[in-house]
A and B are shown apart, each in its own frame.
Chain A
């Protein structure tokens, strides 16, 4: 097995999860839960691929993907913030809506070839043995964007004034309201931003990391993994990066495990028994569950957890909890 290749591709595929998860972190930190990430990613993947294919310009495709994800998220914002509907139901509907839209509008794109985001190496850093090869050499540009996104989001949330307001709105909207923070505007903004990131994550699949349009198999459940990742990450971008890359590596590792005839000097059971492969494919998801259970109990002890007002609509002067 080529370990460097496993880690390299793990970081690539992890970038998709990372971008989507960071978008969802921003949305949830404002108190809005958007379970429609899968739908928004699919719409983003379709829009990105379609525009890149039709115009021949991949950057226009990327912009289209961001806009498409953002627009779709506004539907969720209107329903949950303005009309104060249940966020879970609205988010689930958004997934169906997004999936349907993407499949209809993506009709005829299957098998086409569109331009993709270029690759690059970082000078000097890519010369570092092993690490340079894995992290800094010949990656898609969006992978580097992911590296930058993590510290920037963390700084934004924890160390800036808009970040302070974002946290306050998600934790105690009534408190923020009495101090003159506009709850509705804040929540609209971050729901939209979360949608933009989900759209970008979708395009990161279709025009960058695994190019092509394969209808709903393009995203293939990664939106849901991103949602779970947010919980695993305790709404912290650093942990989201860790989880995203780890998950990417695991997915690639389980693929590579099926290749060789011999493993550690023994006959490889996954090569000879195809049924066992199903179990192998389960492991990343199984690990997700284990990580979630372990992560949430650790979080309770340290008193970090979901934003206190997550999933609740805000209305002035309402009585009761």
Chain B
């Protein structure tokens, strides 16, 4: 048991009957939220359920219309974030609140009363390093924010709060922006902080990570709590999901069996440079067929973005890109679009939509020159609005009207808007990059079903994703990319998360440890070479199974584990690499 359960412990946070109303929206309706020191408390809910609003009331950004907030037993009323900080409350926002061209230390010092006037950064650099070490965080205090990776930036945010002596931390969807291995590091940091007595509220809509890290749980749906401070063990993934969404969620999507048809897309020896003029794609050959979802796996930055840009005509390349017999390499996007190409880009706001245009404006972007929207030399806005209205209903885009600006939509609705535009043009090929990233469960389900529907209609779909679960459940074939090469292609029957993980690190037979007798001089990437990898993987899976888990049999709960134990101890070198690439979630397998 965590020490929060001691009989006379005072809750760190007690929010009672909180009601918060915005013009036209009831964001929080009599919500209770209680949290004890040393506890990680997950706040689960879909986008727009009121999680962030509730927490912003705790940080003093919003003022609730009714309800009570007690901090360590004392009733408080916050007028500004400064009041909340004074009570030891700090929040790591989903979109980092950092000043890009200032140093780590400078960012930490903003808003503090000391130093009084002169900054004397050197002294504070040392203080920051010291504080970071205390919680096992690695950071260079003199680095400027724009030089840091997203994971490091998040550590700055955490340090900002710790430096203020906060003992109540709020993490707003902290893993949404992180790569799997960064997310694992974050989880370790959070557990370390909880062990030191901090109370941590963890906002999320990802069930897996909530199960991984949290002690207690509160679920919100449309501003109301559907579960308040419950134990996580009592719930399965499915029951949690239905608490969030309010209906059954289909985790295993129905994918009908069908034979792929004729070839739609063919890449031959495609090479391209990235933005820094370094090779990003090296001799990529791919082939996509009708009614096939072709997944691209890989650690971010191994050429996936460039591949998508080459196919959609946004990046120059050498080699050939055949779309139904026509070479679309280095052709303008308008040509590819006329040949039936649809693009669901990674960056929904910057590339996917024009944020300041209306729904209608965004919908007609690809068909402004077609009847009935185009009438001789002018646009028929009546027809355009009608078209947008139909698509808004068909794709269930939640917006007041078709005149609403796209930037006012939530992430899920924005993605639906893009899908409505792209899929309604009856494409032959869909290039989708991270189509569900950052969306909540309900929206993810919707997007995946739309993609499967297109597959049934015989469209070829290229799906680039960093979510391996998504790739495994949707794809007919998966290609793994590493440093611009396609390391290998797996077919639906052979999917194995461990194999894919090994290939994502670029593991080829010649890289394997010497005690494994490697073939003398295998051709890289050839079928036989790849079989070798699979054999080795099997070997060491067996070794893993042979060793009984240390300590007690069967299930070991979090509390019983000695706190300081290195989670990676006793693992083989390769297992460590795998964990780094895939995150623990995958390496340990899904126990749920």
Contacts and interface: CB of A to CB of B under 8 A. Distances in A.
B97 A172 contact: yes
Contact of A316 (B61, B91, B93, B111): B61
A176 B355 contact: no
Q: Please give me the 6 A-B residue pairs with the lowest Cβ-Cβ distance, nearest first.
A: A180-B82, A179-B111, A175-B97, A320-B407, A180-B111, A171-B99
A178 B61 contact: yes
A178 B91 contact: yes
B98 A175 contact: yes
Given A179-B85, A303-B146, A316-B61, A165 B110 contact: yes
Interface in A101-146: none
Contacts of B96: 175
A164 B62 CA distance: 26
Given A176-B111, A179-B160, A321-B349, A161 B80 contact: no
Interface in A150-193: 159-165, 167-168, 171-172, 174-181
Given A164-B109, A179-B111, 16 more contacts: A159-B119, A161-B112, A161-B118, A161-B119, A163-B119, A164-B110, A168-B111, A172-B98, A175-B98, A176-B110, A178-B93, A179-B97, A180-B111, A303-B101, A303-B146, A319-B407
Given A178-B81, A178-B93, A180-B85, A317 B99 contact: no
A180 B113 CA distance: 10
B81 A180 contact: yes
A308 interface: yes
Contacts of B93: 178
7 contacts: A159-B119, A165-B111, A168-B111, A178-B81, A179-B110, A181-B110, A321-B355
Contacts of B405: 320
Nearest to B349: A321
Contacts of A267: none
B117 A172 contact: no
B97 A161 contact: no
B121 to A, nearest CB: 8
B408 A320 contact: yes
A290 interface: no
A316 to B, nearest CB: 7
Contacts of A167: 99, 102
Given A167-B102, A178-B81, A179-B81, A321 B109 contact: no
Contacts of B99: 167-168, 171-172, 175-176
B101 A160 contact: no
Contacts of A165: 110-111
Interface in B391-440: 405, 407-408
A304 interface: yes
Contacts of B408: 319-320
B106 to A, nearest CB: 6
> Which among A164, A165, A178, A316 has the highest number of chain B CB atoms within 10 Å?
A178
Give the interface SS of chain B, mostly helix, strand, loop or mixed. Answer: loop
A303 B144 CA distance: 11
A61 B85 CA distance: 46
B424 to A, nearest CB: 25
Given A179-B160, A320-B407, A161 B115 contact: yes
A123 B32 CA distance: 74
Q: Which range holds the interface residue count of chain A?
A: 20 to 34
Given A159-B118, A172-B100, A181 B111 contact: yes
A165 B111 CA distance: 7
Contacts of B116: 161
A160 B407 contact: no
B505 interface: no
Interface in B147-205: 160
A174 B99 CA distance: 10
Nearest to A174: B97
Contacts of A304: 101
B111 A171 contact: no
Contacts of A308: 100
Contacts of A164: 102, 106, 109-110, 119
Contacts of B115: 161
B59 interface: yes
Contacts of A303: 101, 146
Interface string B345-377: 000010000010000000000000000000000
Contacts of A161: 109, 112, 115-119
Interface in A264-321: 303-304, 308, 316-317, 319-321
A159 B119 CA distance: 5
Nearest to A182: B80
A14 to B, nearest CB: 28
Contact of A180 (B80, B101, B106): B80
A276 to B, nearest CB: 45
Nearest to B120: A159
Contacts of B85: 179-180
Contacts of B102: 164, 167-168, 171
Nearest to B113: A161
Nearest to B59: A178
A196 to B, nearest CB: 21
Interface string A224-246: 00000000000000000000000
Nearest to B108: A179
Contact of A321 (B91, B110, B407): B407
Contacts of A177: 81
B62 A317 contact: yes
> Which among A164, A175, A181, A303 has the highest number of chain B CB atoms within 10 Å?
A175
A319 B56 CA distance: 14
A117 to B, nearest CB: 30
Contacts of B355: 320-321
B110 A168 contact: yes
> Which among A165, A168, A180 has the highest number of chain B CB atoms within 10 Å?
A180
B32 to A, nearest CB: 23
A55 B104 CA distance: 53
A44 to B, nearest CB: 29
A178 B407 contact: no
A86 to B, nearest CB: 14
A160 B117 contact: yes
A213 to B, nearest CB: 40
B142 to A, nearest CB: 14
A303 B355 CA distance: 26
A46 B262 CA distance: 81
A316 B59 CA distance: 13
Nearest to B407: A320
A174 B110 CA distance: 12
Interface string B113-148: 001111100000000000000000000000000100
A133 to B, nearest CB: 36
Contacts of B56: 317
Interface string B20-35: 0000000000000000
A168 B110 CA distance: 7
A162 B115 CA distance: 10
A172 B98 CA distance: 7
A317 B101 CA distance: 23
B119 A178 contact: no
A171 B117 contact: no
Contacts of B117: 160-162
Contacts of A168: 99, 102, 110-111
Nearest to B405: A320
Contacts of B107: 175
Contacts of B146: 303
A31 B83 CA distance: 25
Contacts of A175: 96-99, 107, 110
A172 B231 CA distance: 39
Interface string B54-65: 001001011000
